[in-house]
Structures are given as structure tokens and as C-alpha cells.
Amino acid sequence: SPPAVVSQVTVRDALNQALDEELERDERVFLLGEEVAQYDGAYKISRGLWKKYGDKRVIDTPISEMGFAGIAVGAAMVWLRPVCEFMTFNFSMQAIDQVINSAAKTCYMSAGSIAVPIVFRGPNGASAGVAAQHSQCFAAWYGHCPGLKVVSPWSSEDAKGLLKASIRDDNPVVMLESELLYGVPFEMSEQAQSKEFVIPIGKAKIERQGTHVTLVSHSRPVGHCMEAAAVLSKEGVECEVINLRTIRPMDIETVEASVVKTNHLVTVEGGWPQFGVGAEICARIMEGPAFNYLDAPAVRVTGADVPMPYAKILEDNCIPQVKDIVFAVKKALNI
């Protein structure tokens, strides 16, 4: 058979492709948020979509997150399928009442009679030089809440497959993207670029096979884990790198199977340490069958426990770097 066609696609273009295909596929899908229409999106994710689909499907909103998130949730309750973009997830705090009390709880409180098929999406976590009010990771916050599904893509394939799956899902989904990944190109197979390509929500992906230590991460730090694994490989340490892809529901089985194989665990995330995603993974491993296979305590690599400073050198020291992951692996392996 001929070799599969692989092309380089940025995360931005993969998201744009997903939105375009889903707007075309289902007329109930619409996009709303600040600057998404005439300006082509603050991050150019929705480039060309307003020209193609018009005012009813791609809607510029006033700067009122609580207002437009509420409109979107109401629309979802009557079986439209809104995609609600926050300019950063830090601003979703303005609308957290709508996300949690209106979207997440309604299906349960209506005994399943009212579904809320909505996607809340936008950049999450640290960008560059935007200080504390724009740099927080909300994976642990939203991952804490039953009634939501929470996805956190790394590669272009993740971004496209998870966004399409999220739009088609009948539950409210929070999609946490990374602004720093938007312009990054990743290889995408021909299959991943087809209109029917979706990635099931709740399934992690092993990005690199290894035997000595399991690295578990999501979003941009997956790339740092891959780099750390390449560095450690030269020293004879083979890391298995797991890209979680989904925060809730969490695919703990894939992590357990890997820990049974490697006997060591390091978690990596951009968020704060207390009650974080890594803390949850460590607890699940401790409570489950893989605990007896651990040869050393699990180690967490996280963002610093401070509001993000503005100065670049301080910002760099607050976000997990490759050297921090290498150090954590050596600590776990006692080398």
C-alpha cells in the first residue's frame, strides 16, 4: 500500500478545520464570542468562517462573558449546539455560574430530560508576558465538577479530533487550549485530516514507549516531556510519555498499565500544585492496583505556587521546564 500522506498543520489551522467541518455538517452548530466573526478571531482560530457562514452562525458578542455564556447555555437547552469561545479561560470566571450551575448540573437535575450540548473553548494556562490575570490553568477547577467533560489537547491531531468530538457530544464540554501552541506545526496524517476524524473523549495516548519511568502530562507540557525523554534517552533512561488528552473523565487505566510496566511515575502540568491534576493522578494510582508496582514515590512537576509574575525570567521559573522534568525523573529513579 502507498505510504500515508502526512502534512504539517498548525494547531490553529487544525481547530479552524474542525470548526469549519462541524458548522458545515450540522446547521445547529454556531460559534459565538468576542471578535470571532468580523475580526476572524482574536487568535485567528475562526478565520474565514464569518464570511462563509454569516451572522447567524458566527456571532460577535459584547464583552460580557456571563451574558454570552448564558445565551449559549440557553440555546443548548433547546437543542442548538453552541461553541462558546472565551478570549482566555481566566475570563470564564465571569461566567463560571453559567458553566457550572447552568450547564454542568442541568442534565442531572432534570433527570436526563434536558441535555446541554455546548462547548466552552479558548486558551488556558500561561501564555507569554501576560501576568497573573491571564496565565492560570483551569484544568483542576473544571475537572473537579461532575456534569462536565474536560479536554486538553497538545498536538494538531488532538485539537481537531477532540474539538469535533466535543461539538458532537450531548454533554457540556470544556476545551482547554494553549495559546502558545496555536502557531506550532505538527504532523497530521491523511486520516486525521478527513471530515469524519474524531478522537474519543476519555482516552489517553501513549506518545512515546519506554520502560524506566512513566511521564503523564496534558497540553503544552506534553512537548516538554517529549524533549526531556529525548535528553534522558541519551543517558540510558527510557521514559514512557502519556498525553492525557482528557482531564475528565480521566483515563487512569492507561496510566496504571504504564506504571505496572515502568514502576515509576512523574506527573507534569502547568497548573498549581495544590489539588492539581497531578495530585489526582497520584491519588488514583495510590488507591488502585498499580500502587504495589511502584518502586519509589510518585513525583509531581507543577507550576509554582504563586500568581504568575509578569517579568519573563520569573515567568520561566514558574512554568515547568525540560530541566525540571529531567530532575524529577532522576529523583524518582534515585540517580
pLDDT the model gives residue 48: 98
Domain locations along the chain: 8-193, 205-333
What is 205-333's CATH topology? Rossmann fold (3.40.50)
- Residue 134 bears catalytic tag: yes
pLDDT the model gives residue 4: 72
Cα–Cα distance measured from residue 190 to residue 184, given in angstroms and rounded to the nearest whole number: 19
Q: What is the pLDDT along the chain (335 residues), one digit of tens a residue?
A: 655 778 999 999 999 999 999 999 999 999 999 999 999 999 999 999 999 999 999 999 999 999 999 999 999 999 999 999 999 999 999 999 999 999 999 999 999 999 999 999 999 999 999 999 999 999 999 999 999 999 999 999 999 999 999 999 999 999 999 999 999 999 999 999 999 999 999 999 999 999 999 999 999 999 999 999 999 999 999 999 999 999 999 999 999 999 999 999 999 999 999 999 999 999 999 999 999 999 999 999 999 999 999 999 999 999 999 999 999 999 999 99
Q: Out of 34, 85, 134, 157, pick the active-site residue.
A: 134
Stated pTM of the model: 0.96
pLDDT the model gives residue 5: 74
Alpha-carbon torsion angle 309, 326, 199, 135, nearest 10: 0
Q: For residue 242, give the nearest of 273, 275, 274, 285 by alpha carbon.
A: 285
Contact 129, 318 (CB under 8 A): no
pLDDT the model gives residue 118: 98
Q: Out of 22, 34, 65, 256, pick the active-site residue.
A: 65
Question: What is the homologous superfamily of the domain 8-193 according to CATH?
Answer: Thiamin diphosphate (ThDP)-binding fold, Pyr/PP domains (3.40.50.970)
Greatest alpha-carbon span in the chain = 60
Cα–Cα distance measured from residue 148 to residue 116, given in angstroms and rounded to the nearest whole number: 10
Asked if 8-193 and 205-333 have one fold, the answer is: yes
pLDDT the model gives residue 2: 57
Q: What is the DSSP string of 84-144?
A: EE-SSGGGGGGGHIIIIIIIIHHHHHTTTS-----EEEEE-S--SS--GGG----HHHHHT
Q: Say how many residues make up the chain.
A: 335
Contacts of 103 (CB under 8 A, 6+ apart): 73, 76, 116, 118, 120, 147, 148, 172
